[in-house]
């Protein structure tokens, strides 16, 4: 199965690390993850947004692994943040996560998430 990620020439290039379009083969099975918050494996939610972001990405990797797939199978990510994040750390961890093949991505700042201490939520869609 080959997931196609592209940036068409008839629109401006992406302003960050993502592809404008992803095409999933019709024989693929979709794997849709609920939004992952920044808790660790014990359920503890750290105070800082950076650690929450890293944890959310790790949670996604763990769930994908449980389905026998890799992050390269992710074709869509939605990231919601409630406050500013260290941009350098964000870009580093985001690059490590998508392995130089970023999916279609939405990043938004929101007023709040499910609980006040939650500062990050990341939703992922993958195909296998």
Q: For residue 23, what are the domain limits?
A: 4-127
Cα–Cα distance, 15 to 31 (Å, whole number): 27
pLDDT tens track for 36-73: 999 999 999 999 999 999 999 999 999 999 999 999 99
Number of domains in the chain: 1
pLDDT at 17: 86
pTM score, two decimals? 0.89
**pLDDT by residue for the chain (128 residues), tens digit each?**
788 889 999 999 999 888 899 899 999 999 999 999 999 999 999 999 999 999 999 999 999 999 999 999 999 999 999 999 999 999 999 999 998 889 999 999 999 999 999 999 999 999 99
**Does residue 79 contact residue 97 with C-beta atoms inside 8 Å?**
no
What CATH number is given to the structural domain containing 43? 3.30.1330.40
Cα–Cα distance, 7 to 120 (Å, whole number): 27
């Amino acid at each position: 199965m080959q997931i196609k990620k592209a940036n068409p020439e008839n629109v401006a290039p992406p302003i960050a690390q993502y592809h404008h379009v992803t095409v999933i083969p019709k024989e693929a099975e979709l794997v849709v993850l609920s939004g992952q918050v920044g808790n660790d494996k014990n359920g503890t939610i750290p105070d800082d947004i950076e650690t929450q972001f890293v944890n959310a990405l790790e949670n996604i990797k763990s769930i994908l692994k449980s389905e026998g797939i890799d992050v390269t199978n992710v074709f869509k990510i939605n990231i919601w943040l409630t406050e500013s994040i260290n941009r350098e750390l964000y870009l580093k961890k985001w690059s490590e996560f998508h392995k130089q093949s970023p999916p279609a991505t939405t990043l938004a700042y929101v007023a709040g998430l499910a609980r006040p201490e939650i500062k990050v939520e990341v939703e992922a869609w993958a195909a296998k």
